[in-house]
Amino acid sequence: MQVTFSAAALAKSGAIVIPLFEDGKKPKAFDAVDEKTGGALTRALKAADFKAKKGKLLEIVSPAGVSNARVIVVGAGASKDFGALDAEALGGAATARLLVTRDKAALFALDGFSAKKVDDGELAARIAHGARMRTYRFDKYRTKEEQEEKPVLAKIAVYTPAAGAKAAYAVHEKIGDGVFLTRDLVSEPANVLYPDSFAKRCQKLADLGVKVTVLGEAQMKKLGMGSLLGVGHGSDRESKLVAMEWMGGKKGDAPVAFVGKGVTFDTGGISLKPAPGMGDMKWDMGGAGAVTGAIAALAGRKAKANVVGVIGLVENMPDGKAQRPGDVVKSMSGQTIEVLNTDAEGRLVLADALWWTQETYKPKAVIDLATLTGAIIISLAHEFAGMFTKDDKLSKQLEKAGEEVGDLLWRMPLTKAHDEMIKSDIADMQNIGGKGGGSSTAAAFLGRFIQDGVPWAHLDIAGMAWNEKDKPTIPKGGSGYGVRLLDQFVRENFEG
């Protein structure tokens, strides 16, 4: 998608998009187009009783006086409440309509459109960013799609006299590239994206200046990663551990570390999942996808911070070699784990990935992301990711970053009582607790692999990695959740 910015005259072809606040004050762009069309926009607003509520659209097709195919007026709601995320949603809502109109180009006419909460340049950039985010499609495997069903929108122009819009968008574009990468990874089928092929995609980040290290099973075995390796025993695909280093900050400074669960397909292993819905388990690597996309975004925009992303990549399959319920494995930390349920495998992968990350990089903070439990969806639906941490400062930093970019978090309980629930009769711990508090006991398990004094938070993103329906800036499918959250967290707390 080509996105351009200009203060030149309005385009004479394609569609024109004009935002409008519900307070009745119309921007210069509206008045200009209304005059050219002999008042067609004003008449249409009156006839439709259009109130400019947030996200509502009014379409005027082939208006007289201009050669444009259509004019789309987009409701922006109350001007006093309009912020950066509202601008993105506005761009996305208009673009959702443009994708079905067969217009090849569209112009967002923003002259005179201003909001108190965000300056005009950033406002224009956010509208363009939201528009681009809505254009995402994962259609590489469609071979017989009807021609009229394929969107043809290829160019978005933003008409604004505001200074700084182009420069602001350039940063958002790099972050958007990271989001698109994560959406691609989460959307790929498991016969295409498996540990080795995932690792190879990570290696492509070297083009952005990222140092990528890949460990195979022999190396992990020498390191004592029995917890991670046990999950992949039933698969013909070799497990991998990938580290991606972006060192854009001060030389020698400890990095902040992001660790992701990368179960490229999860059958549940011997504790086999029910068949209905198992196909969704191709996105059980959503945490690893988010970490990879975040590193791509940080490297793309040349973030002035030291950041490392580590992902544990495995495939959990039932087989004669697969680990069994009741097996005991030894983690890299030296702690032993009684595996009572082989479908509670993500925490086993993260246990060794977290320990290796701390031993290797001595990070100043560790954040892990994982599609870890169905229980978090019962608690928070698909509105928030669950955040588990005992560090109040880290909690506030992450929550604020999430609110800034729309990747929302809700802090969940993590107490000594939850840790007591994973005590084992024959090992240091068991990998599941009782029937209740499944998300918290999973977090308590991970907490046993965090070294003393290391700030740590666990984000359970099971309800956020995949969308079952369209949203203004996120089409149905892989959401890319976590990329912007991690980027904003770094921007606000680790860049000078």
- Residues marked active site are found at 273, 347
Beta bridge partner(s), residue 14: none
- Asked if residue 202 lies in contact with residue 242, where contact means CB atoms within 8 angstroms, the answer is yes
Q: What is the DSSP letter of 458?
A: E
Q: Which backbone phi and psi does 322 adopt, to 5 degrees?
A: -65, 150
242 three-state secondary structure: strand
- Asked if residue 160 lies in contact with residue 7, where contact means CB atoms within 8 angstroms, the answer is yes
SS3 of 239-302: the string is CEEEEEEEECCCCCCCCEEEEEEEEEEECCCCCCCCCCCHHHHHHCCHHHHHHHHHHHHHHHCC
The terminus-to-terminus CA distance of the chain in angstroms comes to: 32
Crossing angle of the two packed helices 165-187 and 286-300, in degrees rounded to 10 = 150
- Name residue 126's amino acid: R
Q: Which backbone phi and psi does 300 adopt, to 5 degrees?
A: -60, -40
Crossing angle of the two packed helices 40-48 and 28-36, in degrees rounded to 10 = 110
Residue with tokens 């290696």: 203
- Strands 365-370 and 256-266 turn out to be parallel
Distance CA 110, CA 374 (A): 43
Residue with tokens 């938070």: 457
Distance CA 478, CA 474 (A): 8
Half-sphere exposure of 218 (CA within 13 A, CB side): 0
Q: What is the DSSP letter of 79?
A: G
Non-local (6+) Cβ contacts of 145 within 8 A are: 139
- Name residue 466's amino acid: W
